Amino acid sequence: MPTQDDLVLAARGAFEQIKETFQTALENEQEEVRRLGGLYVIGTQRHESRRIDNQLRGRSGRQGDLGASRFFLSVEDDIFRIFGGDKLSGLMSTFKIGDDIPIESNQVTESLNNVQRAAEEYFRDIRKRVFEFDRPMVSQRQEIYGLRRRVLKADDGEVLDIATQFANTAVELTVEEFTSADGQVNGPAILEKLQKVFGESFSTESVRRDGGVTELVADLKAASKASVTARKDQLEQIRPGLFANAFVSCALARFDRHWAEHLQRLGYLKESINVRLLSASAGRRQDSVVTPIQQYEIGANQLFQSLLRDIQRLSHFSLSVNTMERLQQLAPRRGSGPGEAAQPPSVPSQPSAPVAA
């Protein structure tokens, strides 16, 4: 490409000088290689993919140049020993010749090609299964990171809306947990649980005891919103913006901790499905028409929904159990600009069970 750039022109001039310096020596070496028959590629094994072998063969005789390739194989190579098994051993025994004598036969070559194709199909199925098992986690990661980013970049007003949304989820979960299949509601247990989640600022004076489930949920949501507002006012008196900083720090700590635990549970789920699949294969029976990947997707979705519920409920729990002094320590650790990371607070060493943590 024509150019007037002095730096480019100087580089091109240097390249031409180097080319002239080595051109004569290279031409002599090329002529010697052609005289000897070109590049000769020697392969000592078949790879798991024919593509690799074909690339090795393609190194010689490129674009009409002289060259050849030859592979020296053993039926004791890993690929043939694992995927060929007794078939290759039986084939070799029919020739009845010593191990130190090479065999050239179209029948042997075709058998080796079939073994290599079987290996390719096996590893292709493995890659396909890894991809299928990875898809649910990828979509979950995108969703959880999106929600985490929303919390991290929220301003003070948006943080209050998110906190209220999390509180409503905590109420719905608690009512669902203590409601029996026939519709009986354990009111005292619900109130005790929510008192632990929201702390001392949660008041039950306005909660109707004689209403139905719908009225109870509405009253509890109103009480939880009042609790969040009271906690906000309490922290804002100490310093403006303290509530937003503290809530974001508590929520991010829950995101990070529970996402790590969720990844471990997905690993356990995958292992259990593989074990059941091997057990069914060994017994030559099919317990369900649902495929292993479908079982994994169902279980992964259930675990993810549980993860989202725990994060929303336990964010308020962390906010309520931390002391005022600890919450004040959190405030300066949140980034002053949008998108800056917050340092997670110390999370109470309680299990991720529905009771208190």
Q: Domains of the chain, with CATH numbers?
A: 13-115 (3.40.50.300), 154-279+292-328 (1.10.3060.10)
Q: Give the length of the chain.
A: 357
* pLDDT tens digit sequence for 26-65: 888 888 888 888 888 998 888 888 888 888 888 887 777 8
Number of Cβ atoms within 10 Å of the Cβ of 21: 9
pLDDT digits (tens, 9 = 90+) for 294-307: 889 999 999 999 99
- Contacts of 347-355 spanning 24+ positions with Cβ under 8 A: 347/253, 347/254, 347/257, 347/318, 348/317, 348/318, 348/321, 352/258, 352/261, 352/310, 352/314, 354/173, 354/177, 354/193, 355/193, 355/196
CA torsion sign, 344 to 346 to 350 to 351? positive
Q: At what angle do helices 242-282 and 213-238 cross, to 10 degrees?
A: 130
Q: What is the 3-state secondary structure (H, E, C) of 181-241?
A: CCCCECHHHHHHHHHHHHHHHCCCCCCCCCCCHHHHHHHHHHHHHHHHHHHHHHHHHHCCC
**Stronger pLDDT, 82 or 153, i.e. the higher one:** 153
Helix axes 106-153, 292-321, angle to 10 degrees: 20
Q: Note whether 41 and 56 are within 8 A (CB).
A: yes
- Does residue 265 have a pLDDT over 80? yes
Q: What is the pLDDT of residue 85?
A: 59
DSSP 231-295: HHHHHHHHSTTHHHHHHHHHHHHHHHHHHHHHHHHHHHHHHHHHHHHHHHHHTT--S-SS-HHHH
Contacts of 185 (CB under 8 A, 6+ apart): 175, 178, 179, 213, 216
pLDDT digits (tens, 9 = 90+) for 134-161: 999 999 999 999 999 999 999 888 998 9
**Predicted TM-score (pTM) of this structure:** 0.66
